[in-house]
Amino acid sequence: MTVRVMGVLNVTPDSFSDGGRYLGVDAAIARGLELAAQGAHIVDVGGESTRPGANPVTAEDELRRVIPVIEALAAEGVEVSIDTLRAATARAAVAAGARIVNDVSGGEHDPAIRRVAAETGARYVAMHWRGIPDPGHERSRYGDVVSEVRDELARLADAALAAGIAPERLVLDPGIGFDKTAEQGWRLLAELPRLAGLGFPVLVGVSRKRMLAETLGPAASMADRDTATAVVSALAAGAGAWGVRVHEVVPTVHALAVAEAWGAAAGSHDSPRQAPGAEPGTGIASPVTELVGASGAPRDRITLTGLEVFAHHGVFGFERERGQRFLVDVEVSLDLRPAAAGDALERTVHYGELAEAVVAAVRRDPVDLIETVAERVAGVALGFAGVAEARVVVHKPDAPIDASFSDVSVTVRRRAGERAQ
């Protein structure tokens, strides 16, 4: 699956990034069409700024700003997202043609927005949020920012599912820049696979954020931030992000194209054959390929075999009602030398925790296909720090087949940063 590029369209007078350039309806429509033409898969229309110190907007003003724009863009075949905190705005936006509800509060500001997404069938983006961003970072106090944000996103996901949103319609956003310091933002980006391990697509929005300016230095212009945004977007894609939210689409589209070409070449089977572990053209083993092998994944493995889970997956109604046994085998690839050298559990994958995470992933949210279950488990396995590749086999020994058989299974092999086609 191609990484989804979400182009930002602020129909506001006080956005930090564009200063009200697209407040007028005609200007906003023209900009939305431009973003789509430049390669945005989604145009995210917002009528209220969430920057610190922004003036509150009434529901009426928000609707007046966004609805004509959404109607016009949807009529041109553009996939539109509505960036709002309000259930009423979300409902009106979907009626006007929006197909995604992007809620920076994750449903905390107006819980009814979750029901709107469920009832309309819109895709719902739930962002990690502790309130309107606080410049003083009073709410940025975390013990372990990755673990805490992951746990809070899991809670938001549970609330969304409880409201009736289908699991396949839910996207999570770690809320980079929202009550997180620059250091915390970089930590979250570096461990995106752990967030993706919750089993839902992840949207990353770092476009023009202060953390980029802090990294680039005081002389950095907005164009410099856009360049940095494109770099982060490509890296996020490589870490498994479903989508990236950006103000300037072209640099990110170009960066993603380059990253995709690189990845395609790295995974190509058309290259001249070399001896195992050989440097190209030499036949001499490289320390890197000796360690990682031809696939790019470490040769070291941790394997769990025969995890038995009772769950309710299946196409037929009686499978959902009665449930049945599933057996799961998981193999993860990582470099085990650091753990062995220091006899350090924290430098490897705790197979007890891996087993618990796999069992939890199989038990939750019944689906039709064991292919879906296998993909979910692979995402969970890749969420553990250091895992470069996961091989998952899901067995369905009691499948409703009218013939004698011993087993039915699905096998998937996924690398960190790899996305479904």
Query: Could you confirm whether 245 is annotated as catalytic?
Result: yes
Which one is catalytic: 180, 209, 391, 415? 209
Backbone angles phi, psi at 285, to 5 degrees: -65, 135
SS (H, E, C) the chain: CCCEEEEEEECCCCCCCCCCCCCCHHHHHHHHHHHHHHCCCEEEEECCCCCCCCCCCCHHHHHHHHHHHHHHHHHCCCCEEEECCCHHHHHHHHHHCCCEEEECCCCCCCCHHHHHHHHHCCEEEEECCCCCCCCCCCCCCCCCHHHHHHHHHHHHHHHHHHCCCCHHHEEEECCCCCCCCHHHHHHHHHCHHHHHCCCCCEEECCCCCHHHHHHHCCCCCHHHHHHHHHHHHHHHHHCCCCEEEECCHHHHHHHHHHHHHHHHHHCCCCCCCCCCCECCCCCCECHHHHHHCCCCCCCCEEEEEEEEEEECCCCCHHHHHHCEEEEEEEEEECCCHHHHHHCCHHHCCCHHHHHHHHHHHHHCCCCCCHHHHHHHHHHHHHCCCCCCEEEEEEECCCCCCCCCCCCCEEEEEEECCCCCC
Contact assessment for residue 311 and residue 363, using Cβ atoms and an 8 Å cutoff: yes
Which one is catalytic: 31, 91, 169, 245? 245
- Catalytic residue numbers read 209, 245
